[in-house]
Each structure stands twice: as structure tokens, then as C-alpha cells.
Chains A and B, each alone.
Chain A
């Protein structure tokens, strides 16, 4: 690395009166993500309870939040644990569910390429849907070019992270006190959450194709051993969306000629 301590050089650059100080960026990021942090609270609680009910130990339930830190994949992981899926299948499913983070990282990278690994490591580790949403909005707006802009990301990510840990622990306590809660509908809470996330995303024909293909293949394959149907269905959905998009773009190109 030709620039071992880029944060130091950056810190030296602006004068003390620079309007965008590190702490101001940090707290702006935290403030921007606050509504999303609040709406994550019920999910953190639910995840903690669901993890215990699925048969995970408190340590593993909390460990997932500490080290994986990706809400929907943690729900899916807990769900697969209760379905007795083997570890390689759970890990592979986690990989697919979290593929979207590569897209977030690729979108943010040009804005953060002035940073060294000391920054990129924690910022990458704590990257979530919520932090990405507020950060990219900031970066593409007029305040997004501050030399301290990574502190904005850090503020948003850290608040999400700490909140998720606290909620997980509280959920674990609740889940342990509940005893057997299989009749309470915790599993439906997960389904309805995913419905609320997916349906608004389905706005155009390729998205419809992705949902239909994934749904049909999932219904045909969900009883296969080891939950491999989930991966087949996900692959079918991604392919259907992608090829529908390519196909309709080609068709439009022809029409314009």
C-alpha cells in the first residue's frame, strides 16, 4: 500500500473551522439512519426469540448478530436450523440471501476509495440495507463530497449495529422465558415481514417474472432433501428476471430502429 495511514493525511487537510467535521458527519449519519434503526427494533427482538425457538443456543443466536449481522439471512438461518438443514446448505443459502451486499459495496466503493483497509474493514463488515440506503442518498447529494464522508457511513452503520445487538439480546431473553412458543405464530411473523419487503419491490415485468419463477420452482421443490429447493428456486428467479430484462430491452431496441 502506498498510503499506509490515509485517515491521518485526511485529518490534517481541513482547517479546524471546516464546516464538515468528523463528529458532525458521524452524528449526521446516525441521525439519518435513526428511523430505520427504530423500525429494526421489532425485527431484532423477533430474531432473538426466533433463534432460541429454532433450537439455537443463546450464544449462537447472539453470535449470528455479532458476526453475520445481516437480518434477513439470520431469520432464514434460524428457520433452516429448525428445519434441520445441514450446515453447508445453510451457509450456501446465506450466501445467496446476502449476494445483494456485493451490489451495495460496488456502488459505495467509488466514494470510499480514498480510504485504507483500517476503514474499509469495519465499514464493509457493518454494511447493511439500511446504512446503504442513507449513505448512497448522502453521497449522491450535495453534501456527499466532504473529506470526512466516511464518518457519515460509520455513524449510520455503528448505530444500526449496536441497536441490533441490544435487540437480539432482549429477544433471546424473551425467547428463553417463553418456553415452547410454536403456537404463537412467530414463523408467520417472518413470512409476513418478507412479504412486506418483496411486494413493493415488484414494480416491473422482470421483477414479476423473477417472483413467479422463484415461487413456482419453490412450490415444486420445497420437499426436496436438505432444502436444496430454495437454491434452485432462487436461481430460477434470478435467471427469469435477468433474461426478461435483457429480452424486453432488445425488443425495445428493435422498435426504435
Chain B
């Protein structure tokens, strides 16, 4: 992997979302539909990354058996996040459940 290309490409597209909009927006404002649509980006992207990562942690098929600690700890973490809305509590409890689940059910 060409790491210069990788980091350079990632840096370029990220910078392109930050600086030009900041510099130009007093002259060119974002259209209403774009502003609305942008609000769904974090939920859509992070869900798309996370769901397969916990449902099929080794990249193969979806595993719903009890030996899939990723899935069940993920579900419990989601409940914690829903109840507490606290990121660090979610991470802390989620990781504890993950390790305990692995010890109990293997996998």
C-alpha cells in the first residue's frame, strides 16, 4: 500500500469539506436540501460500518449464535447508549460485557 497516497488522499478530501466551505460560504450558500441531507450522514455512515462489524465480526457470514460476543455486547451497548446517552459509559460497559461474554460463551 502506498501510504503517502493514502494519507494524502484522505487529507485532501477532508480539507475540501472544511476550508473551502468556510472561505466561500459567505458568497455561495449551501442549498437547503444539502443542509438537510448532511444531517443524516453520521447516523447513516456509522450504522453502515458498525452493523456488519458486529453481526459478522470475521467478515464471513452473519453469526447470531451466542458465540458471537461482538453482536450481543453490541446490542447491550446500544441499550446502554439509549438509556444513558453517555459515550464513555457506553464504551466502558460495552467492553466489560464483551470480555465477560467471550469468557462465558467462548468465540
Contact = CB atoms under 8 A, between A and B. Distances in A.
Interface of A: 39, 42, 55-57, 59-60, 63-64, 67-70, 72-73, 76-77, 79, 81, 83, 87-88, 90-92, 94-106, 108-110, 112-113, 117, 120-121, 123-125, 127, 185, 187-202, 206-207, 210-211, 213-215, 217-219, 222-223, 229-230, 233-238, 240-242, 245-246
Nearest to A63: B7
Contacts of A90: 6, 9-10
B15 A237 contact: no
Contacts of A187: 53, 57, 70
A230 B49 contact: yes
Given A98-B14, A120-B19, A192-B77, A106 B48 contact: no
Contact of A125 (B15, B85, B88): B15
Contact of A191 (B11, B17, B36, B70): B70
Interface string B25-44: 11001100101111111111
Would you call the interface of chain A mostly helix, strand, loop, or mixed? helix
Contacts of B78: 195, 199
Contacts of B40: 206-207, 210, 237-238, 240-242
Nearest to B99: A185
A169 B53 CA distance: 26
Report which residue of B9, B46, B54 has the largest number of chain A beta carbons within 10 angstroms of its beta carbon: B46
A197 B46 contact: yes
Report which residue of B42, B44, B98, B102 has the largest number of chain A beta carbons within 10 angstroms of its beta carbon: B44
A105 B49 CA distance: 25
17 contacts: A56-B3, A64-B7, A87-B5, A88-B9, A100-B17, A103-B35, A125-B19, A187-B53, A188-B54, A188-B74, A188-B98, A197-B42, A230-B48, A238-B37, A240-B40, A241-B44, A245-B36
A222 B90 contact: no
Contacts of A238: 37, 40-41, 44
Contact of B1 (A81, A197, A236, A242): A81
Given A234-B41, A237-B47, A238-B40, 4 more contacts: A127-B18, A198-B47, A214-B47, A229-B52
Nearest to A198: B46
A105 B13 contact: no
A109 B19 CA distance: 10
A59 B33 CA distance: 40
Contacts of A198: 42-43, 46-47, 50, 81
B81 A200 contact: yes
B36 A94 contact: no
B51 interface: yes
